[in-house]
Chain A
Amino acid sequence: MDYHTPGSFEDAAAIAAKAEGVTRFLAGGTDVLVQLRADMVTPDVLIDIKQIAGVKDIAREEGGWRIGAAVSGAEMTEHNELDQEWPGVVEAMDLIGSTQIQGRATLVGNLCNGSPAADSVPALVAAGASVSVVGKSGTRKMPVEDIPAGPGKTNLEKGDVVSAVHLPARGDNAGDAYLRFIPRTEMDIAVVGCAVNLRLDGGKVIEARVSLGAVAPTVLLVEDAAQAIVGTSLDEAALEALAAAASSACNPIDDKRGTIAFRTHVAGVLAKRAAKIAYERAGGAK
């Protein structure tokens, strides 16, 4: 195994482009090292990006936020301004793993691991977040929902490396929330995850994004679910329509973590509950 510590993302991308065999980028290592120890994936080339300047910074950017690729969950949770503006994103990240894992785990790692059940990804998708991708032909921005391609797979190409996550400016009267279902109270993987991000005008929802995790091969952005609540004040009928739209968007599998029927039903339940929280966070009275 070759281990690299490049000083820039351009160098990291160049090493990856030339690499032969299995290549992995290492930030927190909470997936890579676990897979290595479990004998699931033994990389031939390991590229540690933690030495690159700025990778651990959370910074203001165009009224929103730029979150470096090696920022840990714990740093996000303790960042008051970020938490005030994007509580849904922060709580989604904070649900992952234990206190020890929180000291290492990153948003970008959670995204690039390609799990449909990744907790932070639905929250980022609902938030309208994007990522910077450094590759052969320079740096480009991609919406978060365009990264996952299927379980364990992304749409990134050989030689691509994600350098940061961008959250848009929060703006007024807006709120987001993420809920997941696990049979326990922590230390588990989402059986269903749902994020809702919305904006209000006088108690009426005027913008919404609804995203579901663990109910399809990739995290879903569910337009029909958003439309079910836009123009409403999140009354009972709107919530039922939201639940129905969320459930009908599901395309899950039966597995050790849950059944198709269970995931489909609970997606609707979580959508309602997350929408209510987002609505209250946006200043709407319920």
Chain B
Amino acid sequence: MAPDGNMTNGFKVVGTRPKRPDGIDKVTGRAKFGADATAPGMLHASIVRSPHAHAKILKIDTSKAEALKGVKAVVTRADFAEGLTGENWNILENVMASDTALYDGHAVAAVAATTALGARDAAKLIEVEYELLPHVTDVDKAMADDAPVIRAGAADKSVPEGLHPNVVRYHESGHGDVDKGFSEADLVVEDSFKTEATHQGYIEPHACLAQLGSDGKGEVWCCTQGHFNVQKVCAALVGTDSSQIRVTPSEIGGGFGGKTVVFIEPVALALSRKANRPVKLVMSRSEVFRATGPTASTSIDIKIGMTREGKITAAQGVFRLQGGAFPGAPMEFTAMCAFAPYSLENVHQVGYDVMSNRPKQAAYRAPGSPMAAFAVESVIDELCNKLDLDSIEVRLKNASKEGTKASYGPKFERIGLVETLEAAKAHPHLTSPLAEGQGRGVSCGFWFNHGGETAVSLALSEDGTVAISVGTPDIGGSRASMAQMAAEELGIPYESIRTTVADTATLGYNEISHGSRVTYASGLATIKAARDAVKKLCGRAAAKWGIDEDAVVWEDGCAKPSGPNAGDFEPLPLAKIARSMGRTGGPIVGHYEATPEGAGVSFATHIVDAEVDKETGQTKIVRYTVVQDAGKAIHPTYVEGQFQGGAAQGIGWALNEEYIYGEDGRLQNSGFLDYRIPVASDLPMIDTVIVEVPNPGHPYGVRGVGETSICPPLAAIANAVSNAAGVRLTELPMSPPRILAALDAQANG
């Protein structure tokens, strides 16, 4: 094997299913999550939050709280850095309101006390005087002329004149001539769609323990998808240098994008600095719902033209995303992903980023893409039904391939959409009979995937075992897959390698675990770090044998002379070289730092059967199959888990999950009782098919898999439900009252 080359077969460890390294810790309860960190003298903190959707903060009186026994510090906005600009200002404004509370749950003050109950009691004693302002929580209403302005001047230069100040960013893309395309169609279908905000629903609430001295040196232990980002943001918000804040990530009880954001760590640091004690801050579930990022809610218009033979002649979409009280709703991703699965001559998409009095949206698994697929694939399903065409054949006919000019601009490299459609077509699910009251839906989905700044180091121990340090928190089994990739390169057993998610002082900057980037980017860096170590191992062998380094190769875990001309030496196994490394040149460490840019895009096709009780509007998902291109599945069990997890979260989003705001702008369902994520008995066993079309940008062909899996479910389920109910559902969630209302409306003409 060439040391820098790609390999797509002949794997020994990659593609197998070894035991997960964190398994014992997690089943025994030994694993340390965010709230498990403690320190001597630790205080407990509580955050005071606005009960109003939009209100001017006239006065904050902390005197009664400060007088309470056990209270050691109270902070308000005045205790954070001043003069911030850009995104840091936005983050601070969200972490602690300045003069205006922008949503129900917006933090306005915080208190630290010797007990958690004491902190809670003290928080109640902080008196905040508000002047109520008009509010808006719906995306369409927030764009209307009479909508209250959330923040004047928040719009950037992309926004055309004449739009409401709540529209803060604008996107337009596409190619061809859609009017010409629509005129060539035999049928044009146009429809409007809405999706509600949903929460990532991670089981572990945000939690941290933080310490900050008057000298500006700080420590943070927290549950996050990206501790280097926590370091950077915390340093800015409390006004110290990045290198003075060391952040150590805990185990993570789910993130799904929602833990890419900083909420509580700067608050705990500010309290700690004031109290001169470590401070622990743990969110309640209600706080998680009210004040951490759900995804954006949307309002979408789609228009697609098709010939009788099923060729799409033109497609256009308008995507309005409400992202809460700050700019940043991922409308450009929505617009760019919408038609990506299809090779289109004429396509046009417009996106609006709209502010409202809701919590700042956060990334949620392929942010923006699932909603786009819901709208687009619903219209394609409608076209297939009306033209009596097969839904898989139509998608195959229009599918993007290598060389297709993507709807969002670039030419696709090698991609696997056709392969997922062919695998779906061949799957027994697609031809299995449906029972009375059941309907079937299919959908494709697309996500970009991401590379990002990455640093990995790989250190040999004297006994021949290996410690890998990565800077990307393990949210999907990456400790196992890193060990597998290193084992493959080094030729040593998987069990001889331990992967650790190292703190911010150990490695160079690592971007957050997001964008389905970890198996791709940290994986690539691990492979390259292993190759760097191998080069050094070969060097030691060469020195010992007195031959050129170039004359040594690495095979099966041993250094060997490259051929008869190189000399006749016994192969040197890794353990033997490691044992003497102190005497032969010092510690052997492989490392790699880069910003890899070859993350291959990924496509999936899902098949769903749903059963609708027409008397009650209740939906049961009776069968579900995920087919997705993984490029190369390093640990297939984890890949299947990602496929199933995306489908499960999609089922919740499609059927019952929603943010419900009252007339007063307050969130009505800030708990798992009334924010209805699916329970185990709501789900069928989700079948998976791994398609492997290698990504040319990764040494083993890996494509990220974590996000694409949530792109097709909303649409596939909507198509199944609409086909079962006999009426097109255009609004999510498709809750029983909504389905019953749609059936009623149809019955009453």
CB neighbors of A among B660-708 (8 A): 660, 668-669, 671, 673-674, 676, 678-679, 681-682
Asked if B615 CB lies within 8 Å of chain A CBs, one says yes
Point out the residues of chain A lying under 8 angstroms from B18, CB to CB: none
> Given A262-B736, A265-B740, are A181 and B676 neighbors across the interface (CB < 8 Å)?
no
B618–A256 CB distance below 8 A: no
Point out the residues of chain A lying under 8 angstroms from B615, CB to CB: 266, 269
A262–B618 CB distance below 8 A: no
B669–A181 CB distance below 8 A: no
B617–A262 CB distance below 8 A: yes
Among B120, B668, B682, B737, contact of A259 (Cβ-Cβ < 8 Å): B737
In this complex, the interface size class of chain A, counting residues with CB under 8 Å from chain B, is 20 to 34
Point out the residues of chain B lying under 8 angstroms from A262, CB to CB: 617, 736-737, 740-741
CB neighbors of A among B81-127 (8 A): 120
- 9-residue interface stretch from A47-55, A58-66, A184-192: A184-192
Point out the residues of chain A lying under 8 angstroms from B668, CB to CB: 255-256
CB neighbors of B among A222-269 (8 A): 255-259, 261-262, 265-266, 269
Point out the residues of chain B lying under 8 angstroms from A256, CB to CB: 660, 668-669, 674
Point out the residues of chain B lying under 8 angstroms from A171, CB to CB: none
Roughly how many angstroms separate A186 CA and B736 CA in the complex, as a whole number?
Answer: 15
B681–A183 CB distance below 8 A: no
Asked if B656 CB lies within 8 Å of chain A CBs, one says yes
Min CB–CB distance A13 → chain B (angstroms): 30
CB neighbors of A among B625-682 (8 A): 655-656, 660, 668-669, 671, 673-674, 676, 678-679, 681-682
A184–B740 CB distance below 8 A: no
Residue on B nearest A258 in the bound complex, by CB: B737
A181–B736 CB distance below 8 A: yes
Point out the residues of chain A lying under 8 angstroms from B38, CB to CB: none
Point out the residues of chain A lying under 8 angstroms from B673, CB to CB: 188-189
Asked if A20 CB lies within 8 Å of chain B CBs, one says no
Point out the residues of chain A lying under 8 angstroms from B618, CB to CB: 181, 183
Among B616, B674, B681, B740, contact of A257 (Cβ-Cβ < 8 Å): B674
Point out the residues of chain B lying under 8 angstroms from A266, CB to CB: 615-616, 736, 740
Residue on A nearest B671 in the bound complex, by CB: A38
Among B120, B679, B741, contact of A187 (Cβ-Cβ < 8 Å): B679
Point out the residues of chain A lying under 8 angstroms from B240, CB to CB: none
Asked if A39 CB lies within 8 Å of chain B CBs, one says yes
A184–B682 CB distance below 8 A: yes
Min CB–CB distance B701 → chain A (angstroms): 40
> Given A181-B616, A183-B618, A269-B616, are A188 and B676 neighbors across the interface (CB < 8 Å)?
yes
A184–B676 CB distance below 8 A: yes
Roughly how many angstroms separate A189 CA and B615 CA in the complex, as a whole number?
Answer: 19
Point out the residues of chain A lying under 8 angstroms from B286, CB to CB: 38
Asked if B398 CB lies within 8 Å of chain A CBs, one says no
A185–B681 CB distance below 8 A: yes
Point out the residues of chain A lying under 8 angstroms from B682, CB to CB: 184-185
In this complex, the interface size class of chain B, counting residues with CB under 8 Å from chain A, is 20 to 34
Asked if B8 CB lies within 8 Å of chain A CBs, one says no
Point out the residues of chain B lying under 8 angstroms from A38, CB to CB: 286, 671
Point out the residues of chain B lying under 8 angstroms from A186, CB to CB: 679, 681
Roughly how many angstroms separate A184 CA and B651 CA in the complex, as a whole number?
Answer: 11
Min CB–CB distance B402 → chain A (angstroms): 43
Min CB–CB distance B707 → chain A (angstroms): 25
A261–B736 CB distance below 8 A: no
Point out the residues of chain B lying under 8 angstroms from A258, CB to CB: 736-737
Roughly how many angstroms separate A258 CA and B616 CA in the complex, as a whole number?
Answer: 12
Min CB–CB distance A57 → chain B (angstroms): 31
> Given A39-B120, A256-B668, A262-B740, are A183 and B674 neighbors across the interface (CB < 8 Å)?
no
> Given A39-B120, A259-B737, A262-B737, are A184 and B674 neighbors across the interface (CB < 8 Å)?
no
Point out the residues of chain B lying under 8 angstroms from A39, CB to CB: 120
Residue on B nearest A265 in the bound complex, by CB: B740
Roughly how many angstroms separate A38 CA and B289 CA in the complex, as a whole number?
Answer: 14
Asked if B244 CB lies within 8 Å of chain A CBs, one says no
Among B676, B741, B744, contact of A183 (Cβ-Cβ < 8 Å): B676
Asked if B461 CB lies within 8 Å of chain A CBs, one says no
Point out the residues of chain B lying under 8 angstroms from A189, CB to CB: 673-674
Point out the residues of chain A lying under 8 angstroms from B744, CB to CB: 261
Residue on B nearest A268 in the bound complex, by CB: B615
Point out the residues of chain B lying under 8 angstroms from A269, CB to CB: 615-616
Roughly how many angstroms separate A185 CA and B681 CA in the complex, as a whole number?
Answer: 6
A184–B616 CB distance below 8 A: no
For A77-111 the 0/1 string (1 means CB < 8 A from B) is: 00000000000000000000000000000000000
Asked if B276 CB lies within 8 Å of chain A CBs, one says no
CB neighbors of B among A164-208 (8 A): 181, 183-189, 191
Closest 10 A-B residue pairs measured CB to CB?
A262-B737, A185-B681, A256-B668, A269-B615, A256-B660, A259-B737, A183-B656, A187-B679, A256-B669, A185-B682
**Further pairs besides A183-B736, A184-B678, A262-B617: 20, Cβ < 8 Å:** A183-B676, A183-B735, A184-B676, A184-B679, A184-B682, A185-B681, A186-B679, A186-B681, A188-B673, A189-B673, A189-B674, A256-B660, A256-B668, A256-B669, A256-B674, A257-B674, A261-B744, A262-B737, A266-B615, A269-B615
Q: Which B residues are within 8 Å of any A CB, using their own CB?
A: 120, 286, 615-618, 655-656, 660, 668-669, 671, 673-674, 676, 678-679, 681-682, 735-737, 740-741, 744
Q: Which A residues are within 8 Å of any B CB, using their own CB?
A: 38-39, 181, 183-189, 191, 255-259, 261-262, 265-266, 269
